[in-house]
Chain A
Amino acid sequence: MSLPKLTLSIFILIFVLSTSFIHAQKFKFTEITKNDLEKTESTIDSTAGVEILEFHKFVYFDVWTHSTNLVTKVYKKVKFYNTNAEDLNYATTKIKLYNKGGLKERVNNIKGVTYNLVGDKIVKAELEKSQIFESNKNKYYDEVVFTQPQINKGSIIEISYKVESPLFWDMDEFKFQFDIPAQSVSTEIRTPSYFEFNQIPKGSIVPNYKHKKERDHRIKGKVDVYHYSAESIPPLKKEEYVDNINNYKAGVLFELVSIKYKNGSKKRYAKSWNDVAATVAFSDDYKWGINKVKYFKDDIDVIKSATTDSLQRMKMIFKFVKENMAWNHYTSKYFDKGIKDALSEKEGNVADINLTLTSMLRYAGLEANPIILSTRGSLKPFYPTVDRLNYVVTHVWVNDTGYVLDATDKFSQPNVMPIRAYNWNGVFMDNDNEKWGLINIQQPPMTNKMKFINVELDESGKAKGKVKEILDNHYAYLLRKKYSKISQEKYIQEKESEQRNMLIEDFKIENLESDEELSESYTFTMENSFDAVGNKIFLNPLLFLSSKKNPFKSEKRNYPVDFIYPFNNQLIVNIKIPEGYKVESMPEPIRLEFAGSTGEYEYALSGSGQYLRLNINFKMQESEIEVDQYDFLREFYKQMTTKQQEQIVLIKT
């Protein structure tokens, strides 16, 4: 027993020396040379207009008796190869300073220098204090902004500052990948050893990682030192069909799990999803606030007496909330107003609405529980986290079937929530039965579209016909939303110009207000529906639907393809060809498959005499396609696009 003690104290001595040595040393950028300033393009990405040369963060905790601060020192060196508007954005620094419950973040020691090569000399221009501006943006944060003086092609800027945050449990993501290339990025995090963290890397680039323990004189105790670094990091740019590109940029997330105090007590933040659920479940809102039934008792009693059928009750209450409460566009898992005020003011944040909904459903005898989650706009919660969950929806069991409801959107339906709610899993919280845990709500149900076109062509190229389209789930949801925002006249105009300036008449849309399948129908006339040359006609049987290009242009993709929802599109076109013509040749039928039967495409043309029929079936069973399937998906789309451009040849008899 005594030996380890001795070695320990020796180590402590050594560490004390070494840490104070480390901290006596100030960070210095590598010196800027004429060569650096003369460089004209990035070695990582020659097309880049701007490049990060160095980006270092030093993060540590300043622990005092009554307060703890998270301190972040930032050092950044950026090179400008070009000065287009989007490049110049990188000359401006914006620092957001949050405040929460009277605790405010602060920034100080802001320094900025611009280096230019003038003739043969390196000329320095410093950021002036008078050019640093702070403004209060809204009740949640202030912003400090400044921009570097004298930016030219070739300029290099150095920026450094220090942020002190009393919101120490809320650590920003450490980013290693950006929209622009980066030469050298590192982060060093020193945490007191009685702070326990989860560290979760994300993205496809793995940074170098070092971990050691040492003694720190500042907090008079042991610290864990985590060091991450990466070199020559290519930029990651956004392409079609992606949920949130930030999910795929390389970085490390730190989430505080617990703090063990000297008196032996332990404050837990979150370690498992169960802990996360428990933390929220034991908050006042979820324990007490959600039970205030007296403010809606009368209204729900009416519904209760109207029907005893659970599914009916669920639908009626859902409708009641959608019609009587408007979302004020604030997201949160906690009440802003609470059930009483939200109901009387007829508006509220997400929790005001969906927790009221949960409460009403419970009052009506249904098994309803909240699910908390993080929305698409924010990062996917890759690990147990309380803070990153910003949204709540309602889960209901009716006759052993589970439904998810979100009443913040007038057009949402049971199991068809607004797109923002589909991001990852949710945390299911059944307080009564103490059942907490993750629930998968990532993939919405299959959404279906059936389109019928009957068309008659005459020799001059004029087409007359009728279109009917039947949509359900998210297709119907999205169309109802779109339709609510613009007038019918404008909607028809848009459709006309998208579909080769056809003329639309007898437009009808059915079930706009109900939650049944949505159907739309109209008649149309269109000029130039085919190319006529000599005694032949060249006709694309897809008529006005044929101009689609392959959306997957890039040869490689580093993150999944996200279709948002699985879909099934069916198209039937019945064509009557002009009098006096017959078919000379027709495109061959084709059947394409992708990843087993995840994706399917069928194209078949049949016909006799004057009548032809095109049948297309296009189905995608999964909404998310993983990176390793990308090549196949791209090829699948390529073949599909090629097929859709093929023509029928008609010849005069």
Chain B
Amino acid sequence: MRFFTFTIVFFLNLYVSFSQDQSIETHEENNSQLNAIVDKESLSIQFDKSEITTDYRLVVKVLDPKGEDAVNTYVHYNKHIKIKNIEALIYDAKGELIKKVKKRDFNDVSAVSGGTLYSDSRVKYLNYSSNTYPYTIDFSYQTENSNTAFLPRFTFMKSYNTRVNYAELYVGYPEGENPVNYKIKNDVDSAVKFKQYPDGVLFTVKDLEPIKREVMSPSITNISPVVLLAPQEFKWYDYEGKAKNWDELGAWMHDKILSGKNNLKSATINEIKSITEAVESPVEKAKLVYEYVQDNTRYISVQVGIGGIQPIDAAEVDRMKYGDCKGLTNYTKALLDAVGIPSYYSHVESGRYKVDFEDDFSSINQGDHVILNIPIDEKDYWVDCTSNTSPFGFLGSFTDDRKVLVMTPNGGELKRTKSYLNEDNLTQSTSTVNLNEDNSFSLSNEIISKGVHFGKRLAYAFMPAYELEKKDKQRWNLFSDYEVVSHKVTNHKDSLFLYEEVKLKGNKFGKKLGKRIIFSPNVNIRDSYVPPRVRQRENPFQILRGYALIDTVKVKIPTGYTIEAFSEDKNFKSPFGTYHLEITSDKDFVIFHRNILIKEGLYSKDNYLEYREFRKNIAEAENSKISIIKS
């Protein structure tokens, strides 16, 4: 994963996935839907443009091991965030104090995530392990922060199956000023009470009932009440900033943080100019620049101080030939500038799940990754400069179809990245099988992959042959005894699709039983996913992107054999997509044709069973067999 990190991460909620027992409403402490009770949580922030002080306390009763999710006992710090106090008190079931954890007893480690070479961010945490339940933990800390750009996102309910008796968020400021913007989200039941004082704002909730964890559920922070905060004016290291809206925030990024970071030595400028000289069109030039970056650099993340949001100078990336997402994006931008193509540095929230930047609420802590926006002739091209393999203009499922913040000279602007939906994500294969009397076979496939399927298989174009062979063994695991004769992969990076030509041969195509051979003609992808059975679904479910599979397989049967039986046509239609299967015969050939379309969408919980039934029917049809017999 190629995240860029802001150096302050306030409430990094680590949700370990677990799900819950079937619901039985019994009395509180034995109710398996209730694993922890937050008795009190309070976050109090005193905001001033030049300093933030934070006072936090959490009192939580953990009822069983699954309730440990509700215990988040850690604080991030660095040179600019000082931990003044930190303490944890642990009480047993009888309410007796059994342990007092002081500042020096907390674990203190470097907060480096995988993929980061170095970061100056650190974390103090407590990892208390208990075998005895229930127990209560009373955790508190105070911090001071001289950087004021980041204010936390406060979630009143941080874990599933947890009751919250009381939680509050208070933001104080000098009387009469009103320097902090806020937004309450996901508060469908109006649980959040809000009070304005001359010198602050208070948000409280009382008696939030637990939310049940289910499979395929979104993160709880997306469905339970949350308060977003952002300063209107702030200080970030030596930079003063304004962020009343996206326009201002983007302008600050562009004018203050990014400006002066696009230095390149003249040799490099000349080199990139001479590389792009041969082509006329701006798109072709941009493509060459992007490929130059891909061929010459690699992703290495180093996060030091202001580097949390500011890229290192393009000249430095040019020298090292490595950088993080900020550095590589800024470097690519500098190279594009050198050949006269404007491009814009853009913040995005990355990941398979699509998260939009808030339309009406600007803050610098939305987004965790940087991509580059290149508008040419009214068309937006997007590139991820940390990828060494993605073709120009291809984002894939990591940053597709979401609102991002684009930093232009005229200020910040929200734009939506390229989407890949339904038929955009296509795998189309045409196969010919030569089946022999002894059940041995040769198989020749032509496979085209588009959209996110292209993104998924793109790596095949860069794999050493022996790695590809390993993948092939997993891919055609339908056969137990076969070898890959050849596998050619062509990356059509200009038209954004992958073309594969795969030839297999093997000894067992189907089951040979006396005079008969029984086989499945569906030799490439078997779409046999069936979502898990859920007794009672409580939340909606989502199909993120949708896709289409089109397969045609021609099987030449051995001489002397005739077709004995094959499955009849199958046609399923549902709100989630369509399925069509057809087997025909033509002299010595059996022809299998199958189309699947799965449609993206957010579906109601009441549709879940229907969806499962649809997928089950598909899974069964995908298993269709043909029997041939020697006459």
Q: Spell out A's residues near B (CB within 8 Å).
A: 47, 49, 82-84, 88, 92, 125, 128, 131, 133, 135-139, 143, 145-147, 149-152, 322-329, 344-347, 410, 484-490, 493, 496-497, 501, 503, 527-528, 531, 533-534, 536, 538, 549, 645, 647, 649
The answer to whether A487 and B118 touch across the interface, beta carbons within 8 angstroms, is no
Measured CA separation A277–B110 after assembly (Å): 36
11 contacts between A and B (CB under 8 A): A82-B464, A145-B118, A323-B132, A324-B131, A327-B129, A345-B98, A346-B131, A487-B19, A489-B21, A497-B532, A649-B513
Is there a chain A Cβ closer than 8 Å to B340's Cβ? Answer: no
Q: Which residues of B contact A88 (CB under 8 A)?
A: 298
The answer to whether B298 and A151 touch across the interface, beta carbons within 8 angstroms, is yes
CB < 8 Å: which of A151, A528, A533 contacts B627? A533
Q: Mark B462-484, 1 if CB is under 8 A from A, else 0.
A: 11101000000000000010000
The answer to whether A488 and B22 touch across the interface, beta carbons within 8 angstroms, is yes
Closest chain-A Cβ to B183's Cβ sits at a distance in Å of: 34
The answer to whether B320 and A326 touch across the interface, beta carbons within 8 angstroms, is no
The answer to whether A503 and B466 touch across the interface, beta carbons within 8 angstroms, is no
Measured CA separation A303–B513 after assembly (Å): 67
Q: Which residues of B contact A328 (CB under 8 A)?
A: 127-129
Q: Which residues of B contact A84 (CB under 8 A)?
A: 462-463
Given contact pairs A92-B117, A485-B18, A528 touches B319 in the complex (Cβ within 8 A): no
Is there a chain A Cβ closer than 8 Å to B265's Cβ? Answer: no
The answer to whether B464 and A149 touch across the interface, beta carbons within 8 angstroms, is no
Is there a chain A Cβ closer than 8 Å to B27's Cβ? Answer: no
Q: Which residues of A contact B90 (CB under 8 A)?
A: 345
The answer to whether B619 and A501 touch across the interface, beta carbons within 8 angstroms, is yes
- Output the residue of A131, A324, A528 with the most chain B CB within 10 A: A131
Given contact pairs A83-B298, A151-B298, A488-B22, A137 touches B110 in the complex (Cβ within 8 A): yes
The answer to whether A138 and B320 touch across the interface, beta carbons within 8 angstroms, is no
Q: Which of B308-358 contact A (CB under 8 A)?
A: 319-322
CB < 8 Å: which of A83, A347, A486, A501 contacts B616? A501
Measured CA separation A531–B117 after assembly (Å): 55
Is there a chain A Cβ closer than 8 Å to B535's Cβ? Answer: yes
Q: Which residues of A contact B388 (CB under 8 A)?
A: 83
Shortest Cβ distance from A130 into B: residue: B316
The answer to whether A322 and B131 touch across the interface, beta carbons within 8 angstroms, is yes
Measured CA separation A131–B98 after assembly (Å): 46
The answer to whether A489 and B19 touch across the interface, beta carbons within 8 angstroms, is yes
Q: Mark B497-516, 1 if CB is under 8 A from A, else 0.
A: 00000000000000101001
Q: Which residues of B contact A345 (CB under 8 A)?
A: 90, 98-99
Measured CA separation A486–B131 after assembly (Å): 17
Q: Which residues of B contact A533 (CB under 8 A)?
A: 516, 518, 564-565, 625, 627
Shortest Cβ distance from A116 into B: residue: B321
Measured CA separation A548–B139 after assembly (Å): 49
CB < 8 Å: which of B132, B300, B516 contacts A324? B132
Shortest Cβ distance from A347 into B: residue: B129
Measured CA separation A489–B32 after assembly (Å): 12
Extra A-B contacts (12), CB below 8 Å, given A139-B108, A346-B130, A528-B623: A47-B466, A131-B302, A131-B320, A136-B122, A137-B109, A326-B132, A329-B129, A347-B129, A489-B535, A534-B564, A534-B565, A645-B480
Measured CA separation A501–B530 after assembly (Å): 8
Measured CA separation A489–B212 after assembly (Å): 13
Is there a chain A Cβ closer than 8 Å to B360's Cβ? Answer: no
Q: Which residues of B contact A152 (CB under 8 A)?
A: 296, 321
Q: Which residues of B contact A149 (CB under 8 A)?
A: 319-322
Given contact pairs A92-B117, A486-B19, A487-B21, A531 touches B625 in the complex (Cβ within 8 A): yes
Q: Which residues of B contact A135 (CB under 8 A)?
A: 110, 112, 118-120
Measured CA separation A118–B589 after assembly (Å): 56
Given contact pairs A149-B320, A488-B22, A133 touches B131 in the complex (Cβ within 8 A): no
Closest chain-B Cβ to A207's Cβ sits at a distance in Å of: 28
Shortest Cβ distance from B464 into A: residue: A47
Measured CA separation A645–B513 after assembly (Å): 13
Q: Which of B14-42 contact A (CB under 8 A)?
A: 18-22, 32
Measured CA separation A527–B513 after assembly (Å): 23
Is there a chain A Cβ closer than 8 Å to B215's Cβ? Answer: yes
The answer to whether B322 and A147 touch across the interface, beta carbons within 8 angstroms, is yes
Shortest Cβ distance from A461 into B: residue: B620
Q: Which residues of B contact A131 (CB under 8 A)?
A: 302, 320
Shortest Cβ distance from A144 into B: residue: B118
Shortest Cβ distance from A488 into B: residue: B21
Is there a chain A Cβ closer than 8 Å to B107's Cβ? Answer: yes
Closest chain-B Cβ to A512's Cβ sits at a distance in Å of: 13
The answer to whether A323 and B131 touch across the interface, beta carbons within 8 angstroms, is yes
Is there a chain A Cβ closer than 8 Å to B65's Cβ? Answer: yes
Closest chain-A Cβ to B165's Cβ sits at a distance in Å of: 24
Q: Which of B130-167 contact A (CB under 8 A)?
A: 130-132
Is there a chain A Cβ closer than 8 Å to B533's Cβ? Answer: yes
Closest chain-B Cβ to A27's Cβ sits at a distance in Å of: 27
The answer to whether A150 and B320 touch across the interface, beta carbons within 8 angstroms, is yes
Is there a chain A Cβ closer than 8 Å to B423's Cβ? Answer: no
- Output the residue of B112, B129, B530 with the most chain A CB within 10 A: B129
Shortest Cβ distance from B459 into A: residue: A84
Measured CA separation A553–B564 after assembly (Å): 37
Measured CA separation A32–B446 after assembly (Å): 45
Q: Which residues of A contact B616 (CB under 8 A)?
A: 501
Q: Which residues of A contact B535 (CB under 8 A)?
A: 489
Shortest Cβ distance from B516 into A: residue: A533
Shortest Cβ distance from B616 into A: residue: A501
The answer to whether A138 and B18 touch across the interface, beta carbons within 8 angstroms, is no
The answer to whether B511 and A647 touch across the interface, beta carbons within 8 angstroms, is yes
Shortest Cβ distance from B65 into A: residue: A484
The answer to whether A496 and B533 touch across the interface, beta carbons within 8 angstroms, is yes
Q: Which of B143-199 contact A (CB under 8 A)?
A: none
CB < 8 Å: which of B118, B321, B532 contacts A133? B118
Shortest Cβ distance from A88 into B: residue: B298
Q: Which residues of A contact B215 (CB under 8 A)?
A: 490, 493
The answer to whether B117 and A147 touch across the interface, beta carbons within 8 angstroms, is yes
Closest chain-B Cβ to A331's Cβ sits at a distance in Å of: 14
CB < 8 Å: which of B120, B122, B129, B513 contacts A538? B513
Q: Which residues of B contact A344 (CB under 8 A)?
A: 98-99
Q: Mark B99-128, 1 if CB is under 8 A from A, else 0.
A: 100000001111010000111101000011
Measured CA separation A328–B109 after assembly (Å): 17
Given contact pairs A47-B464, A346-B98, A503 touches B513 in the complex (Cβ within 8 A): no
Q: Which residues of A contact B130 (CB under 8 A)?
A: 326, 346-347
Is there a chain A Cβ closer than 8 Å to B92's Cβ? Answer: yes
Shortest Cβ distance from A345 into B: residue: B99
The answer to whether B518 and A346 touch across the interface, beta carbons within 8 angstroms, is no
The answer to whether A490 and B322 touch across the interface, beta carbons within 8 angstroms, is no
Measured CA separation A574–B603 after assembly (Å): 43
Q: Which residues of A contact B565 (CB under 8 A)?
A: 533-534
Closest chain-B Cβ to A418's Cβ sits at a distance in Å of: 14
The answer to whether A528 and B98 touch across the interface, beta carbons within 8 angstroms, is no
The answer to whether A538 and B511 touch across the interface, beta carbons within 8 angstroms, is yes
Measured CA separation A138–B215 after assembly (Å): 36
Shortest Cβ distance from B121 into A: residue: A135
Q: Mark B559-588, 1 if CB is under 8 A from A, else 0.
A: 000001100000000000000000000000
Shortest Cβ distance from B129 into A: residue: A326
The answer to whether A410 and B131 touch across the interface, beta carbons within 8 angstroms, is yes
Shortest Cβ distance from A484 into B: residue: B65
Q: Which residues of A contact B625 (CB under 8 A)?
A: 531, 533
Q: Which residues of A contact B128 (CB under 8 A)?
A: 328, 347
Given contact pairs A83-B298, A489-B20, A493-B532, A346 touches B92 in the complex (Cβ within 8 A): yes
Shortest Cβ distance from B612 into A: residue: A501
Shortest Cβ distance from A641 into B: residue: B480
Q: Which residues of B contact A145 (CB under 8 A)?
A: 117-118
Shortest Cβ distance from A328 into B: residue: B129
Shortest Cβ distance from B629 into A: residue: A534
Shortest Cβ distance from B128 into A: residue: A347
Closest chain-A Cβ to B472's Cβ sits at a distance in Å of: 14
Closest chain-B Cβ to A585's Cβ sits at a distance in Å of: 9
Measured CA separation A473–B516 after assembly (Å): 46
Q: Which residues of A contact B110 (CB under 8 A)?
A: 135-138, 143
